[in-house]
A and B are shown apart, each in its own frame.
Chain A
């Protein structure tokens, strides 16, 4: 298939230079800070791995990490099945297909801070459509700024609103690539809807579903702007996910050492889990 050619490196150099400039220099800065202590005035003292130990042992980091894993697990558990169901029930051809696709993709094209503001306006008690409906029509006591549980549900629903379409579009791309002949053969054999899904549609969607899970894992694990604008991490620390906590330490308190150590631990976890997905994804992909 692909031929051996070392000159191909020449084609890769521009990308390499650009990404290396953006990734390596800041990464070295972070590594540099993570092993030093500073009291300002540009004076630095060697600290060794002290910050890493302190971060890993701190309750605050463990709590934020726990919330982060819980958030990612919940949104994956909702978005993946919901995305598959919506993709399966969409029309395959005709005028409505592009209309559906464009409308579904729309939430993903809204700047993340606007997503936060939009959900804030949407859920305000008395003023927002959802806040008014829950409080004044259904009589449920709902106030995101006071109740941790309401804040959690709102952040999760916001992410489902924002990103389920990614799963839908990916699965849909897998589904439309199935030739009609497969369905006809299944019909002749008298296959049930479940067998069609299990033996024809699901295998075809496997590759795209892995991409969907990988992308959703990476992006939800790195999520910052939307929950920050919506809840600011509150009430209390209840919705302080990893990124929010990191920015609080780095830019809020300007604790460079601990923030850098936390960045590296954070990045290592993301990398590790993503690597597992990547290996699974490319296992039967490469010729």
Chain B
């Protein structure tokens, strides 16, 4: 083994330590946690997980989160596809300005929008629905999706479009049957990023929901404050939020580096 591999190994160890600690805590009893330090769970227990899977407030938190995240991912990718195509293939009046304006929404601090969003979605009767959170998250996910997809589409030579028209394809036929299969890696990566940023965001999700669509993040903070010092339960709930991310990341593992580079490498 080469000596320089020590650096990534140490780095990954640093990344894994807090995650290990969270997982280890989730298998400990409250007594053991409060009685002192132990590197491994002494009395291995599943009661924290049992508490989550038998309490509807807990498991509906997960279902709500997954519902609005999926809705947001589908919505973001569907509207971003034609726009990214336009940006990658055509010049039109105000294209650069529009592209930058889209990006500015990725820069907006969520804290700035929390209160106006609450008022906006209350006034149109969408408050406390999955659709409200999904729509609100398009604010930063749509610009990101356009950005990544445009990068991937730019890599597809224009001759592909022209050949398809010569072969007698209509535009929708070409787009669905020829173009999409060519950028499917890009679509996958984009969907992954939309999923990721919608899944991890919590300020807006919490502000726009009360009971019906309450995300897991909000359930966690409320439980943490109301039920006192239930660290084991909190750790188990945290561990469960890592699993969906770990599953989706496995599917895009070969494209992830390129995706983070916005398809520009």
Q: Which of B212-265 contact A (CB under 8 A)?
A: 216-217, 220-221, 224, 231, 234-235, 238, 241-242, 245-246, 248-250, 253-254, 256-258, 260-262, 264-265
Known: A91-B5, A127-B34, A259-B115. 16 other contacts (CB 8 A): A19-B139, A21-B135, A103-B15, A109-B200, A111-B202, A113-B217, A126-B37, A127-B37, A128-B21, A129-B17, A172-B257, A177-B265, A208-B265, A251-B114, A267-B107, A274-B104
Contact check, A221 vs B264: say whether CB atoms are below 8 A apart. no
Contact check, A132 vs B37: say whether CB atoms are below 8 A apart. yes
Contact check, A22 vs B139: say whether CB atoms are below 8 A apart. yes
A280 at interface (Cβ–Cβ under 8 A)? no
Contact check, A224 vs B111: say whether CB atoms are below 8 A apart. yes
A56 at interface (Cβ–Cβ under 8 A)? no
A188 at interface (Cβ–Cβ under 8 A)? no
List of B residues within 8 angstroms of A23 by Cβ: 105, 108, 139
Contact check, A225 vs B7: say whether CB atoms are below 8 A apart. no
B249 shortest CB reach to chain A, Å:
6
B112 at interface (Cβ–Cβ under 8 A)? yes
By a beta-carbon cutoff of 8 Å, the part of chain B in contact with chain A is 4-8, 11-12, 14-19, 21-22, 25, 33-34, 36-37, 39, 75, 79-80, 82-83, 85-93, 95-96, 98, 100, 102-117, 119-120, 135-136, 138-139, 142-143, 146, 158, 196, 199-203, 216-217, 220-221, 224, 231, 234-235, 238, 241-242, 245-246, 248-250, 253-254, 256-258, 260-262, 264-265
Q: Which of A175-215 contact B (CB under 8 A)?
A: 176-177, 207-208, 211
Q: Which of A45-78 contact B (CB under 8 A)?
A: none
Contact check, B261 vs A243: say whether CB atoms are below 8 A apart. no
A118 at interface (Cβ–Cβ under 8 A)? yes
The 6 closest A-B pairs by CB, nearest first: A109-B245, A26-B116, A11-B86, A8-B90, A173-B257, A8-B86
- Which chain B residue lies CB-closest to A259? B115
List of B residues within 8 angstroms of A104 by Cβ: 11-12, 15
**What is the interface of chain A mostly: helix, strand, loop, or mixed?**
helix
Contact check, A110 vs B241: say whether CB atoms are below 8 A apart. yes
In the complex the two chains form, what is the Cα distance from A247 to B235 in whole Å?
26
Contact check, B21 vs A129: say whether CB atoms are below 8 A apart. yes
In the complex the two chains form, what is the Cα distance from A266 to B248 in whole Å?
34
In the complex the two chains form, what is the Cα distance from A56 to B103 in whole Å?
26
18 contacts between A and B (CB under 8 A): A1-B158, A5-B91, A15-B142, A22-B105, A26-B113, A29-B120, A86-B11, A100-B12, A102-B246, A108-B196, A110-B245, A121-B22, A121-B235, A122-B18, A164-B11, A208-B264, A259-B115, A271-B107
Q: Known interface pairs A111-B200, A274-B104. Does A222 touch B110 (Cβ–Cβ under 8 Å)?
A: yes
List of A residues within 8 angstroms of B201 by Cβ: 111-112
Contact check, A5 vs B90: say whether CB atoms are below 8 A apart. yes
Contact check, A26 vs B120: say whether CB atoms are below 8 A apart. yes
B10 shortest CB reach to chain A, Å:
9
Complex partner residue of B15 from A106, A129, A225, A275, CB under 8 angstroms: A106
Q: Known interface pairs A2-B91, A129-B17. Does A106 touch B249 (Cβ–Cβ under 8 Å)?
A: yes
By a beta-carbon cutoff of 8 Å, the part of chain A in contact with chain B is 1-9, 11-12, 14-16, 18-19, 21-23, 25-27, 29-30, 82, 85-86, 88-91, 98, 100-114, 117-119, 121-122, 126-130, 132, 136, 161, 164-166, 168-170, 172-174, 176-177, 207-208, 211, 218, 221-222, 224-225, 229, 242-243, 246-247, 250-251, 256, 259, 263, 266-267, 270-271, 274-275, 278, 286
Contact check, A161 vs B14: say whether CB atoms are below 8 A apart. yes
Contact check, A3 vs B79: say whether CB atoms are below 8 A apart. no
Contact check, B80 vs A15: say whether CB atoms are below 8 A apart. yes
- Which chain B residue lies CB-closest to A85? B7
List of A residues within 8 angstroms of B21 by Cβ: 118, 121-122, 128-129
B251 shortest CB reach to chain A, Å:
10
Contact check, A26 vs B117: say whether CB atoms are below 8 A apart. yes
List of B residues within 8 angstroms of A9 by Cβ: 86, 92-93
List of B residues within 8 angstroms of A164 by Cβ: 11
- Which chain B residue lies CB-closest to A26? B116
Contact check, B260 vs A5: say whether CB atoms are below 8 A apart. no
In the complex the two chains form, what is the Cα distance from A107 to B115 in whole Å?
29
Complex partner residue of A111 from B36, B199, B253, CB under 8 angstroms: B199
Contact check, B18 vs A4: say whether CB atoms are below 8 A apart. no
Contact check, A4 vs B90: say whether CB atoms are below 8 A apart. yes
List of B residues within 8 angstroms of A14 by Cβ: 79, 82-83
Contact check, A176 vs B257: say whether CB atoms are below 8 A apart. yes
List of B residues within 8 angstroms of A108 by Cβ: 196, 200
In the complex the two chains form, what is the Cα distance from A267 to B105 in whole Å?
10
B65 shortest CB reach to chain A, Å:
8
B221 shortest CB reach to chain A, Å:
6
Contact check, B90 vs A22: say whether CB atoms are below 8 A apart. no
Complex partner residue of B138 from A22, A88, A130, A161, CB under 8 angstroms: A22
